[in-house]
Chains A and B, each alone.
Chain A
Amino acid sequence: MHGRPRKSATPVDENASALKAAKIRSLQSQFLENHHNHIYTKEALEINAKLIECNPEFMTAWNYRKLAFEHNISSQSESEKADSDHIKSIVDEELRVVENALRKNFKSYGAWHHRKWVLSKGNSSTERELRLLNLFQKQDTRNFHAWNYRRFIAGLKNISDEKELQFTTDMINDNFSNYSAWHNRSVLLSHLLEKKVEGYFPKEIFLKEEYEFVRNAVFTDPDDQSGWFYHLWLLDQTVKVDMPNLVSSWPPHGSEITKTTFPVILLFNEPVEGVNLHTVSVQVENDITKNTTWSPLSANKFKCGQAWLTHLTIPPGEFNSSKIFQVKISSEYPQGIISLNGVPCSRNWSFAFGVSVCHDVQPEGHSLRISMGEENFSTIDVNSNMMNFLKSNFDLATDYEQPTSSKWKSELIASEIDQYRELLSWAECKIGKLTLARLLMANDAMITDTAVAPNMTHVEEVLQLYSELMELDPTHYQCYKDEYSLVFLKQVTSSKESLMKYCCQYKESMSLNITGNVCLRFNSLSLSRMGSFERLLWVQSLDLSHNQLHSIEGLEALQLLSCLNLSHNKLVSFMALDPLRFMKSLRVLNISYNEIGAHTVDTRRYLCSSPLSHTLDYDKRFEEFATSDEKVVNFWDAYSVFSGLDIMQLDITGNAAVDERFVLFLVKLFPGLKWLDGEELH
């Protein structure tokens, strides 16, 4: 009961309402009897019409009218068939019943659909339908049923998109706080652009005018949301790169690695499908490798993903210890790699690196406990290998530069930045600040020439804007905080000098074959979200402890990762660890002091592989692990994420889900486990 006041009924009211109920009940039973007995007489139709007028939501009542309509058309006499007025009168009667129902409830799904159905059978004039629409769209300018019906009529009667666009202009000029009209405008402009209609293609022609049009609205009342969403769409239309692109890869171009089996990672700017033997060529020395299998690092079944992985073993055949093998990975048929929208990758790319053959050192049988405490790191020597190591990941030219932007785009964004700076000089407006932050980031991204050195001109100002937003609009604090984290990480990872500040060198005494030499330490930075993975593919040891992360989405791209510290974060479930499923190199994991098991709602439940989302079949072997345990189902997610991993050291204490039974379950699950919560296992 929407919008009806709560009050106790007076006896008079009750009496009236009881009478009305009895009347409707009697209409209902008469109608249902007619319906079940296929009676379509004039009287029966009148009873139905009365019922519909009382209750336009009664679906079966509308169905009956359609049956009656079909019956009456098919049982016409010859003379009636010849008489066009006869059919017209049947159609008109239906349109009249619909109109009455809509006057009672203009949100009735059944009524609007019945009208569409009748129009598909008979005719009504365009004027008549537009007149009806104008009536309802004036009464309720946001009625989405009416807007939907308007699009239907425009299609049916071939009303041009330009004419409909003018209608949205008029509606917005009447009252700019009409989100429905802004929405329809975006739909119509997309059509016009797609059809390359003169005056709307290429898009820079209309974008400038649209920016001006929407500015009038948001400057009039900056607190009204309607225009702002449209502005964001315009921004997206301006800067969007309409095609998938390789943004990062591992091993780095021009580098030299010493391993016989190693992963090759391709990271795209958006999820793609079609990475395979035919689209990507792998060349070792001068031979094209024919047996490479690429797999996406993602939970879906549709073979698509942002990061793709294969493993190479060099040399494929004979062993020659002194030789350095040259490996080249390149796009063979980039058009075969397509985005989820069906847009093909149209740029060629390639990268090459050397592999000096050596025996991979197997982790020793006994291992010391690995710790990421301060005492385990030595001071950084700027002349050490470490600088070279980072250098190889940052300084080498790659062959997959970002497309450079057009001049009109930069000018448009620059002028918008000026406009919104001006707005903020007199209005304290949260969406205005957010828009300015987005414009500044778009501006920086556009003048970035290559993926190697991202432009960071406005990053400080953007961070400042997000800080102000957190104070100005505390309701959405976490939204701004997440954005802040992402921009901050962009800044930190933008150059090797800035990243260097967060890198530490392990002491020689550590198990370097597991940790690698360098640990990237993003601990205690108050990060609520992790990002910039394209700059971090080389990372083997990562410390993310003492942050506010509740998700590690995207981390699966870091295929070299063997040590990961996530302690003291806000992970609420094992499902939140889903990316670990793909990280087969992981040996040391710290997830202690999170909130795993402390919540009844799991926000990662549908963003991971599971039988609930049909991305994974239920694994019956699971039951072997927890036989005779009533609560077996509670361990399912832990089993699902961990069962393919080979963890040697695990810290998990300080989570609600962890009790004695669970620890026993884990020990059974990880046969290779040597350290659990600081205790050595025997």
Chain B
Amino acid sequence: MGELAAEKHAKYILTVEKKKDDIESVLMEHLRINGAYWGLTTLDILGKLAAVDQETIISWVMSCQHESGGFGGNEGHDPHLLYTLSAIQILALFNKIDALDAEKVSTYISTLQNEDGSFSGDKWGEIDTRFSYVAICSLALLKQLDKINVEKAVKYIISCKNLDGGFGCTPGAESHAGQIFCCIGALAITGCLHYVDKDLLGWWLCERQVKSGGLNGRPEKLPDVCYSWWVLSSLIMIDRVHWIDKQKLVDFILDCQDKENGGISDRPDDAVDVFHTYFGVAGLSLLEYPGLKAIDPAYALPVDVIDRIFLH
């Protein structure tokens, strides 16, 4: 089991950032801005953000912005809410949100709110509570929440609540830990967690811990390091994280490290990637693993970044 190979993970992320030609990079190209957010946040939690060239990253992020105000996943790709949040988060990490025209970006986001309070991801109309979270989180970071109808947005999220206290992507859709994070996160940011049955949802979430110590995302599924983030952050926001065995989860995450080449995978001995490296390290931060910066469970950014934005 052993310890977190922090140096190796930082090195792994810096290598992935530079690689552009192998098959993984090519297949990830359409969401490179999400990848950049995962990688950079991981580096920040590990205390290694200074190792990247901030100017180059920021100018690349800005090159992904469209006339509409929204961001694409890469240069020349279409804008979407998912990429817009990553762009804002990256700028927040570097304390450079001011580089944005907040008015313009928030107008892009607010025009994607539908009559029933839900959000479309882009102009093509796919609706999902993931986009509700992304919109609310983005606007909160830009201090522009008043641009949307928050009450309707909350009502829509509540309409996606299920028998188990969890949430799905649309009304009637099955609960899923990733979706629950989005809904709980959006309700947390808007001060609406009183709509949640914390004991019911807490029990469903804590039952995600399987024998190996890892967490799954739905009943009777395999554990996966990414749920260390989705489940843990939700449990923290509703104050039920003491209902799981934290040490066993720490051991599971550490067991998924590639200790030779760096990076963390979904399960022990699988291939690593930036996504799982981020969720593993962020999960360990939520578990108060020593030597890591604290991460905020709702905004998914380091606590010092969030406090800098909201408590000054």
Contacts and interface: CB of A to CB of B under 8 A. Distances in A.
Nearest to B307: A633
Given A36-B76, A226-B220, A24 B27 contact: yes
A482 B203 CA distance: 12
Interface in B192-224: 192-195, 200, 202-204, 206-207, 209, 218-221, 224
A301 interface: yes
Contact of A606 (B173, B218, B297): B297
Secondary structure dominating the interface of B: loop
A475 B311 CA distance: 36
A276 interface: no
B22 A18 contact: yes
A54 B294 CA distance: 38
Given A179-B219, A601-B288, A618-B310, A21 B244 contact: no
B230 to A, nearest CB: 14
A17 B239 contact: no
B140 A60 contact: no
B80 to A, nearest CB: 6
B173 A144 contact: yes
Contact of A230 (B163, B203, B206, B276): B163
B22 A233 contact: no
Given A109-B126, A229-B164, A5 B271 contact: yes
B218 A479 contact: no
B269 A28 contact: no
Contacts of B16: none
A142 B202 contact: no
Given A600-B294, A618-B311, A6 B288 contact: no
A610 B296 CA distance: 14
B22 A21 contact: yes
A605 B200 CA distance: 20
Interface in A612-645: 612-615, 618, 633, 636
Given A183-B174, A479-B243, A6 B188 contact: no
Interface string A270-306: 0100000000000000000000000000111110100
Contacts of B267: 3
Nearest to B268: A6
B297 A142 contact: no
B125 interface: yes
A605 to B, nearest CB: 7
B122 A63 contact: yes
Interface string B111-149: 000000000001011101000000000001000010000
B219 A229 contact: yes
Interface residues of A, number: 86
B31 to A, nearest CB: 8
A59 B73 contact: yes
Given A224-B220, A601-B236, A606 B288 contact: no
Given A475-B244, A614-B145, A60 B190 contact: no
B191 A301 contact: yes
B185 to A, nearest CB: 9
A151 B30 contact: no
A613 B306 contact: no
Contacts of B296: 605, 612
Contacts of A479: 202-203, 206, 240, 243
Contacts of B41: none
B78 interface: yes
B64 to A, nearest CB: 12
Given A60-B72, A109-B126, A601-B294, A606 B266 contact: no
Contacts of B189: 612-614
A366 interface: no
Given A478-B242, A633-B312, A21 B175 contact: no
Interface in B1-31: 21-27, 29-31
Given A1-B24, A610-B310, 10 more contacts: A4-B270, A142-B221, A147-B173, A183-B174, A187-B162, A474-B245, A475-B245, A601-B294, A607-B237, A612-B306
16 contacts: A18-B23, A21-B26, A60-B73, A113-B126, A117-B125, A144-B173, A187-B172, A340-B194, A475-B244, A603-B242, A605-B298, A606-B188, A611-B310, A611-B311, A612-B306, A613-B188
8 nearest A-B pairs in the assembled complex, by CB-CB distance: A615-B191, A606-B188, A600-B294, A233-B163, A613-B191, A479-B243, A186-B163, A603-B239
